[in-house]
Every structure is written in C-alpha cells, then in structure tokens.
Amino acid sequence: AACFLDSIATLNLQGDGVGLNYHYGLFKQEFVDHKQHEIPDEWLDGENMLVDTGVSFPVQLGDKVYQSKMYDMDVLGYKSGKNVLHLFDLETVSDEVITDGISFDKKDIARNLTLFLYPDDSDKDGQLLRIYQQYFMVSNAAQLIIKEEKEKGHDLKDLDKYVAVQINDTHPSLIIPELIRLMIAEGITFRRAADIVSNVCAYTNHTILAEALEKWPLDYLQQVVPQLMPIIEGLDFAVFAAYKGNPDLRIIDDQNKVHMAKMDMHFSHSINGVAALHTEILKNQELRPFYNVYPHKFNNKTNGITFRRWIMHSNHELSDLIDQLIGEGWKSDANHLEELMWYYNDENALNRLDQIKYDNKVRLAEMVKLREGIDIDPNSIFDVQVKRLHEYKRQQMNALWIIYKYQQIKNGLIPPRPITVIFGAKAAPAYTMAKNIIHLILCLQELINNDPQVSPYLKVVMIQNYNVAKAEKVIPACDISEQISLASKEASGTGNMKFMLNGAITLGTADGANVEIRNLVGNDNIYIFGRTSDEVINLYNTSGYHAIDYYLRSNSIHQCVDFITSPELLSIGDETMLKELQDNLIHKDWFMTLLDLESYCAVKETALLDYENRAWWKRKSLVNIARSGFFSSDRTIMEYNNDIWHLR
C-alpha cells in the first residue's frame, strides 16, 4: 500500500489513502532463551509528519458514539504530485490499558481502539476489537467522502462518477454497507444506493488462505455495528432473491457467519487478484462460484514495488551504476531497465555490479555483528529468507535444509564456499507453531555458530526485530532469495520483486509472482523446485498427502526431522516446543514441507554450485535487474487506473 501511494502521487493521479493512527506497531521482537518475546513498538514517540486537520466525525460503536480526529500525512510523488494519507484516531486512546508486554484490556474501546496494529484476535474480545477498528476506519472514510463530494456540489446520486474506492483485502469491507447507510440517510433508496456503491467500490483479493478471508459471527456484528445490520441483511436478501438461495453465494451462511469477501464480490464492480497464477486459482478454484456468476468482474493486477524506495533509496551504489550505464530514464519508466541487457557480455560492467553486491554484503555483515553479535563472511553466499513467519511460507523447510547441510559437514562433506543463511521473521503472538519454528531456527543458530567443525562453512543468522529499516540493508546484500511457499498459497509476494531488483537470484516454487519472474528471466536465471499448484490443489482435494509416508520412505528426510529432538538441540532448546514442531511435521504438515523437501535440497545444491561459476552468476544477476521493470508499482497503478478507477 505504501508503494501504491507513492506511485499514485508520482503518476499525478488524485488518490488518497485511509487508515488508523496506530499508537503502537505490531510489536518489537526480542529473543530470550531462543524464543520470541513481544514488547510494545511505539510509533508516536517524538516528532512525526502528522498534521492535525481539525476534522472530526461521529462514529457509532456499539451503543455509544465517539468523535474521531483526522490527521493527515503528505505523500509526495517522484518529481511530481502530492496526495494525502488520512489517519483517524480517538483522543481518549491511552497506553494505560497496557498490562504486560503487548497485553492490554481489549474491552476498553475508548482507550484501546487505535492502540495496536493487528491486536491479537485469538479470542472473542480480540475479534470484536478488530471489527471495531475496521468499522471506525471505514465509517470515517465514508463520511469524509460524502463531506467532500457535498462540498464540491456533486449530487450523491452521481457518486460513482466522481469517486472510486479500492477495498484492499477484506479488512475495509464494511465500507459497502456504511456508504449505503449514509446515502439512505441522504434520501436515496436502498436499491439505488446499493447500485451506486457497487459502481464505486472495487475489491482486491490478497490471499486464498481461509483464515484471512474474514467471516464474522452475526452476533458480533450486531454488538459492534447494530446500525449496519439492516443493510447487511438487506444485501444478503438481495443475493438470495437473485440467485435462488444458492448457499455458495450467500453473504450470511447457515452458521450465521457474515462473509466479508462475498459481500465485496457481489457489491463491487471489479474483483482482482495480485499475480497471474493467483487470479487463475481464484477463478478456477477458490472463488469459482463467483467467477461463474461474474466473469466480467474478474481481472489480474500483478503487484509491484516502488523502485524509488527499494533501489534509489536503499541501494545508492547500484542506482548510480544504472544511471551511468543507461541514463536516468528508468527512474520514471522502469521499462528502461531492459537496456541493461546491452551489458550482458561487458566484463567491466559485470565486475562493477559484483563489487556493489560485495560492498552491500560488507555493510550487512557490520550490522549483523553490531546488532546480533555474529561474525559473518562477506565472501560467503548470503542465502536469505525474510518474511512473516507462517507455515505456508515454509521457514521450517529452510531449517530442515540447514540440518541437512550441518549433517553433511559433520560427515566431512565440505561445501566449496561458506554459506550464511539469514532469516528475518515475526510470528503472530498467538501462533504457537510459528513460534516453535523461530525457536528451532534460534537453536540451530546457537548450535551451528558455536561448532568449530561446522561454523567455518555454515552460519545461521536470525535477525531480531526485522523491519523495513533492516530490510534496506538485507535486500541489497542478498545472493539467493528464498521464496519457497507451498505452490498455490502465496498470492503474489513483493519481497521476491525487491530481491530481484537488487540482483539476487530467486530460489522458489512456482507460486505467486515467482511464476512471472521465471517468465521474465528464463529458466537459466531462476531456480524452481517442488510440486506445481495444480498438483498441490489435487492433493488437498483428494486428501492425497500423508507426511508420515515421506518421513518413513526417505532416510534423509527421516534424519533431518529426527534431529529436531536430537540431544544436540535438546541441550539448547525447549523440548516441548521442539517435539510439538516435530510431531506436526510427521503427522500433519498441512503445508507439505516434506513433500517438497528433497526437491528443495537438490535444487538448492545446484544453485550453490552454480554460484562458483562467477561469470555466469554475474550475468544471472544482471538479467534479474534488467527484467525487473515489470514489477514497478507505477505499472500496477496504471493498470488499476486504466481498467478500474478511470481517474482523470
């Protein structure tokens, strides 16, 4: 979203962002006893760029009405326009409700509403708070839209001629009934208001994970937004009448759950995925009933990143080299990066590119030494996996490869060059298995980095409290970019694009935007392993995957998984956490780690050996940079505007 705001302003389009003025981020991550601990991450400490606008709106939450405050932050484009990010808050919010770490009284809405980004929603109070936050945001946004359009003298019956709303995932879905409610209050009929709002709103789906396609119990919504319930029930009845009660299409299901995505798809004029493969999976699998009804609504908008942030700002040396080689036109039109292919056989240019990579590795090594106390060799291969900790992203598979490599080295099989495996990841506070995976990685870090037989050839680094500032150091220094999600589970990914832009080579599955990276760079400049999305979906549909079969069938898999509870690791770690992870891999493994493990190990070995052909690897790096222009968020935003928004 930050990249998109940058591109909207750069392209001189009138488009503002809306959010909440969170006082604390997700959390600051600390490692204690090889485990993740969470402490508050204060966002509003000291000076910031927020401007108190004096604008305020009444928002009904439950049976009370609260008065919001709107703060604005300017979003400046590259040598061009300026837009605004509107952030809403309550004056009554107070950190006095924080009790321990990031725990707080979830029931005190007046004091906690905007306190934390993504509060723990593993219990009812947390889920209610999420709904309170979501409605507070969209109610303010809807009232701001109505206010601005009335000030311009526009007839609200023509709202769809002047306003476009992009529903970015399901979190802002309540904007649909809220806009309808406000238009009814202005004298517009329910049916007319629903038609207008459908032409105003467009929906972006960001995931096929069921946990992220929000569906709220009806009684929760009745408690939080009673004023919206007649609207939501009216929308559901309209769907029931139009589609003869088809249960797959109902907004309110027979379990009295309200499906946000279904409401979005019925009452938006556009439905898009965020990578070509993702959109095809939505059409043919996850959202097929809706594609059958609304094929004209579905379209793809592959994600993008702002090159101003992810190369001009974070990798000055590379940005300057590109300027010297092809001029500065790429900064406003990333397609010009293709001109770098002129230097495919230019030894001088390739050596300069390689020196920049080395310099960035030196800087990262200095940061790791300073912050983590670990010495790493810039001449080693930097093998990097940095992203949210989730089983589908399969950091656990990377950890099993580390065990595999550790065992090889202990048996005298020395790699031709040292390898440094770098992780950065936070686990949601209530996500037990994700915390277990972090624990395993930290135990491996302790074991391997202190083993004089192994550490000269293999190091493990888990960067504490990984964030954007650290990403700006890590990404330019990466040699191998780990994008190893289970095929069909990653909608797109944007980390893969950032690494590609900075000359890293992708090691990944045929998932998300990895597929489009492969199409752009060719098979010689990417390393793809594992089952395809079709094969994975078939295994899910037929219940055809049983992890224990792979565990028992393969001696190498058996040895890696057994090592999780080896004496070496149990002397460092928590037996309960390690055993729980091991049991999950053997008996459940919902994201099929063991299915792809041997393919992953084999292809990763190929990549590590290919790195030794330095001339070839430098060319691979150049090709990735040259072909990354497609992933500019400027391109993505132009597609949104041309196909969906039609801003002038």
Q: Which band of pLDDT confidence, cut at 50, 70 and 90, is reported for residue 1?
A: confident
Residue 321 has pLDDT above 90, yes or no: yes
pLDDT per residue as tens digits for the range 562-597:
999 999 999 999 999 999 999 999 999 999 999 999
- Among 494, 509, 593, 636, the one annotated catalytic: 494
Q: Which of 439, 498, 604, 620 is catalytic?
A: 498
Tell me the per-residue pLDDT of 76-134, one tens digit each, with 9 for 90 and over: 999 988 999 999 999 999 999 998 889 999 999 999 999 999 999 999 999 999 999 99
Catalytic residue (one of 23, 28, 69, 393): 393
| pLDDT at residue 578 in the model | 99
pLDDT, one tens digit per residue, over 121-164 is 999 999 999 999 999 999 999 999 999 999 999 999 999 999 99
Residue 46 is predicted with a pLDDT of 75
Kindly report, residue by residue over 252-284, the tens digit of the pLDDT.
999 999 999 999 999 999 999 999 999 999 999
Domains 2-303+635-645 and 307-533+597-631 share a fold: yes
pTM of the model: 0.96
Answer yes or no: are the C-beta atoms of 511 and 487 closer than 8 Å.
yes
pLDDT of residue 45: 78
Annotated catalytic, 498?
yes
Q: Is 393 a catalytic residue?
A: yes
Q: Which of 37, 157, 388, 579 is catalytic?
A: 388
Q: 350 Cβ partners below 8 Å, 6+ apart?
A: 343, 615, 618, 619, 622
CB count within 10 Å of CB 324 equals 11
Segment 322-342 shows an average pLDDT of 97
154 has catalytic annotation:
no
What is the number of other CB atoms lying within 10 angstroms of the CB of residue 54?
7
Burial class (CB in 10 A: 0-12, 13-18, 19+), 323: middle
Nearest CA to 454 out of 419, 424, 479 is that of 419
pLDDT of residue 210: 76
Per residue in 204-247, pLDDT (tens digit) is: 999 888 777 899 999 999 999 999 999 999 999 999 999 988 99
> Is the model's pLDDT at 454 over the cut of 80?
yes
Q: How confident is the model at residue 44 (pLDDT cuts 50, 70, 90)?
A: confident
How many whole angstroms separate alpha carbon 130 and alpha carbon 127?
Answer: 5
How far apart CA 215 and CA 78 sit, in angstroms, is 39
In angstroms, the CA 112 to CA 116 distance is: 8
* Domain residue ranges of the chain, discontinuous segments joined by +: 2-303+635-645, 307-533+597-631
pLDDT at 517 over 80: yes
For domain 307-533+597-631, the CATH class is: alpha beta
Query: Is 494 assigned a catalytic role?
Result: yes
Residue with tokens 């091991």: 582
Options 28, 206, 390, 405, the catalytic residue: 206
**Rounded Cα–Cα distance for residues 194 and 183 (Å):** 9
Instruction: Describe the crossing of helices 395-410 and 555-562 by its angle, rounded to 10 degrees.
Output: 100
Tell me which amino acid residue 304 is: G
Split at pLDDT 50, 70, 90, the class of 166 is very high
The active-site residue out of 387, 390, 426, 489 is 387
> Averaged over 431-441, what is the pLDDT?
99
Q: What is the pLDDT of residue 639?
A: 98
Q: How far, in Å, CA of 215 to CA of 362, rounded?
A: 47
User: From the centroid of its chain, how far is CA 430?
Assistant: 18
Q: Which of 333, 314, 330, 310 is nearest to 322 (CA)?
A: 330
Is residue 262 annotated as a catalytic residue, yes or no? no
In contact, 507 and 458? CB cutoff 8 Å? no
Q: Percent of the chain scored above 70 by pLDDT?
A: 100
Whole-number pLDDT of residue 379: 99
Residues 364-409: tens digit of each pLDDT: 999 999 999 999 999 999 999 999 999 999 999 999 999 999 999 9
Q: Which pLDDT score is estimated for 337?
A: 98
Q: Taking all residues of the chain, what is their mean pLDDT, rounded to a whole number?
A: 97
Residue 256, pLDDT score? 97
Q: What is the largest CA-CA distance in the chain?
A: 80
Confidence bin at 648 (pLDDT 50/70/90): confident
CB 539 within 8 A of CB 545: yes
| Catalytic residue flag (residue 606) | no
Mean pLDDT value of segment 326-335:
96
CA distances, 97 to each of 107, 207, 307 (Å):
10, 33, 40
Q: Under CATH, what is the fold of the domain 2-303+635-645?
A: Rossmann fold (3.40.50)
